[in-house]
């Protein structure tokens, strides 16, 4: 029986974030081969990168997630050092300054405890990102549901009942400026039926 289009895509890309897939299609990773998945979870965004010879690094606080990603690496990139995949906190990354060509941080930053924690994580990721490097983040935001929230930046209860750290457009623009970054794409937000909003933030480091 012939494979279905969906099964063929899944065999190549796993359950990759569709917005990250868009970045791959547009060549944003063509010249960026050393990739950190910060808050990698079980590795949903990694099968394609592992199987195409990218030098992948990953970190997560959950030891089960680290084990799952190491199994993925053994399957798709058996020569990749398993020490590239670490258990640890995102606000204390174990890599040297400027080590990474690109950082993926998908559905992670909104778990920050407060603004101090959020900015400490962001500063650490920025530290290990090389000049010219790409930072890709998907995170909860208040953009489009401001009237439903107590605050537009901070830890809030969303209409879907979850507690998340959210940001607004002004915060992301100010952060990019403070970090010495350029937006590679306009800030894009998906509003999930007024229950929550997820924003894609893609920037390039210049210093």
Query: Cα(60)–Cα(43) distance, rounded to whole angstroms?
Result: 10
What is the DSSP secondary-structure string of 71-99?
HHHHHH-TTS-GGGEEE--TTS--S-TT-
List, for residues 56-85, the tens digit of each pLDDT value: 999 999 999 999 999 999 999 999 999 999
Asked whether residue 10 carries a pLDDT value surpassing 90, the answer given is no
Whether residue 189 contacts residue 199, with contact meaning beta carbons closer than 8 Å, is answered with yes
What does residue 38 show for φ and ψ, rounded to 5 degrees? -95, 110
Q: Average pLDDT, stretch 92-103?
A: 98
pLDDT in tens, 129-173: 999 999 999 999 999 999 999 999 999 999 999 999 999 999 999
pLDDT tens column, 14-61: 889 999 999 999 999 999 999 999 999 999 999 999 999 999 999 999
Please identify which residue in the block is written with the tokens 């960026």. Answer: 32
Within 10 A of 148 (CB to CB), how many other CB atoms are there?
15
- Position 11 scores a pLDDT of 83
State the SS3 of 149-199. Answer: CCCCCEEEECCCCCEEEEECHHHHHHHHHHHCEEECCCCEEEEECCCEEEE
Task: Determine the Cα angle at 77 with ends 86 and 38, to 5°.
Answer: 35
pTM across the whole model = 0.95
Contact 29/23 with Cβ under 8 angstroms?
yes
**What distance in Å separates the CA atoms of residue 144 and residue 57, rounded to the nearest whole number?**
34
119 CB contacts (<8 Å, ≥6 apart)?
none
β-bridge mates for residue 154, sequence order = 166
Is residue 2 pLDDT above 80, yes or no?
no
Give yes or no for residue 1 having a pLDDT over 60. no
pLDDT tens-place string over residues 40-50: 999 999 999 99
Domains and CATH numbers, the chain: 5-33+94-205 (3.40.50.150)
Q: Taking 60 as the threshold, does the pLDDT of residue 102 lie above it?
A: yes
- Residues contacting residue 73 through CB under 8 Å, at least 6 positions apart: 46, 50, 56, 80, 82, 84, 85
């Amino acid at each position: 029986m012939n494979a279905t289009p969906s099964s063929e895509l899944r065999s190549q890309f796993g359950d990759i974030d569709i917005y990250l897939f868009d970045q791959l299609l547009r060549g944003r990773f063509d010249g960026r081969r050393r990739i950190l998945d910060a808050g990698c979870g079980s590795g949903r965004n990694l099968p394609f990168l592992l199987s195409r010879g990218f030098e992948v690094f990953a970190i997560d606080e959950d030891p089960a997630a680290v084990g799952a990603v190491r199994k993925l690496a053994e399957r798709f990139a058996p020569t990749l050092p398993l020490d590239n995949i670490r258990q640890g906190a995102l606000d204390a990354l174990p890599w040297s300054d400027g080590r990474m060509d690109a950082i993926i941080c998908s559905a992670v930053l909104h778990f920050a405890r407060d603004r101090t924690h959020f900015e400490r994580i962001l500063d650490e990721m920025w530290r290990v990102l090389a000049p010219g490097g790409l930072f890709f983040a998907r995170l909860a935001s208040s953009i489009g549901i401001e009237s439903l929230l107590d605050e537009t930046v901070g830890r809030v209860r969303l209409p879907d009942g979850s507690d998340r750290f959210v940001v607004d457009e002004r915060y992301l623009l100010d952060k990019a400026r403070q970090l010495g970054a350029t937006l590679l794409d306009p800030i894009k937000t998906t509003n999930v039926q007024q229950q929550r909003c997820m924003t894609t933030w893609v920037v390039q480091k210049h210093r």
